[in-house]
A = this chain, B = another copy of it.
Amino acid sequence: MAVKKNMALLIQYDGSRYDGWQRQGNTDNTIQGRLETVLEKMTGSFQEVHGSGRTDAGVHALGQVANVHLNTDMKEEEICLYLNRYLPEDIGILNVKEVPERFHSRLLVREKIYTYWVETGQRCPVFQRKYIYTLGEKPDLEAMREGAGFLIGTHDFTGFCTSRNKKKSAVRTLKAIEIIPHGSQLEYVITGDGFLYNMVRIIVGTLIETGLGRRTPRSVAETLEGLDRQTAGFTAPAKGLFLTKAVYGTEIFGGDGR
């Protein structure tokens, strides 16, 4: 007799050809939808898969965490093998762990880390072409870091998000923005307790404009205080963005999470 178990999944995906994480209506082409379809085939009944957060169309994941309640006798490893066998090649399950009944990947997530990649050279790198934004200019690191400094801490990030539900709080805590140069490429590592719609991409776009001298570092603080999206920078393209890690109170997958 199968027992209902709460299973956490550690997931990677190439978001290039998907309409984002969150399941949609009839013409579903989402990561959540693909997972649910394969799990329904596996167990014989539909169960909703909860992700640590939604990723937009075209955004990738190196360490998305989701959970789902499954009526199954299959072991963790068997579920992992089954999923990787039937999911498309651009979605991969790195690990499956049984977690306590009440674990919920979205409600209990403490911190998320996003990574954004920019190519400052004029040539789009062939093997990263789907995973990097080719800016073709070299933004000033110090100006970007100074602008980023204003965003760290707990703030209302209304100025840095797209069309949101105004009844919900836009207060989030941004813990760190690191900007790491790798040759002609820049890696932005952005850590926070939660993110609004398009927030990471608007932050990156605003910092890029700052680094190119199109706005002052101080103007980043002004946008934050003014709560006006119109005064922030452009929304950096989805393809440069990765959801890299979701952090919980305990280590779900052990070790480095892989």
Residues of A in contact (CB 8 Å), total 20
Residue of B nearest to A258 (CB): B183
A135 within 8 A of B: no
The answer to whether A126 and B90 touch across the interface, beta carbons within 8 angstroms, is: yes
Residue on B with the closest CB to A60? B127
A131 within 8 A of B: yes
**Interface: A93 (CB within 8 A):** yes
Judge whether A117 is part of the interface by a CB distance below 8 angstroms. no
Residue of B whose beta carbon sits closest to that of A13: B126
Closest B residue, CB atoms, query A124: B89
Which of B14, B126, B129 sits near A126, CB closer than 8 Å?
B14
A122 touching B90 by the CB < 8 A rule? no
A81 touches B127 (CB 8 A): no
Tell whether, in the assembled complex, residue A92 and residue B123 are in contact, meaning their CB atoms are under 8 Å apart: yes
| Binary contact track A108-139/B, C-beta < 8 Å → 1, others 0 | 00000000000000111111010100000000
The answer to whether B12 and A89 have CB atoms under 8 Å apart is: no
Q: How far, in Å, is A53 (CB) from chain B's closest CB?
A: 19
**Cβ–Cβ contact B129 & A89, under 8 A:** yes
Given contacts A12-B127, A127-B131, contact A122 B92 (CB under 8 A): no
At the interface, is chain A mostly helix, strand, loop or mixed?
Answer: mixed
B81 touches A126 (CB 8 A): no
Q: A89-B129, A127-B131, A129-B90 are in contact. Are A122 and B12 (CB under 8 A)?
A: no
Does A84 count as interface, using CB distance less than 8 angstroms? yes
Instruction: Please indicate the chain B residues that have their CB under 8 angstroms from the CB of A84 in the complex.
Output: 122-124
What is the CB-to-nearest-CB distance from A15 to chain B, in angstroms, rounded to a whole number? 10
A92 touches B126 (CB 8 A): yes
Question: What are 22 contact pairs spanning A and B, CB under 8 A?
Answer: A12-B126, A12-B127, A13-B126, A14-B126, A14-B127, A14-B129, A60-B127, A81-B122, A84-B122, A84-B123, A84-B124, A89-B124, A89-B126, A89-B129, A90-B126, A90-B129, A91-B126, A92-B123, A92-B125, A92-B126, A93-B123, A127-B131
Given contacts A81-B122, A92-B123, 19 further A-B contacts (CB under 8 A): A12-B126, A12-B127, A13-B126, A14-B126, A14-B127, A14-B129, A60-B127, A84-B122, A84-B123, A89-B124, A89-B126, A89-B129, A90-B129, A91-B126, A92-B124, A92-B126, A93-B123, A94-B123, A127-B131
**Which 8 residue pairs of A and B lie closest in terms of their CB atoms, listed nearest first?**
A92-B126, A12-B126, A89-B129, A84-B123, A14-B126, A89-B124, A92-B123, A90-B126
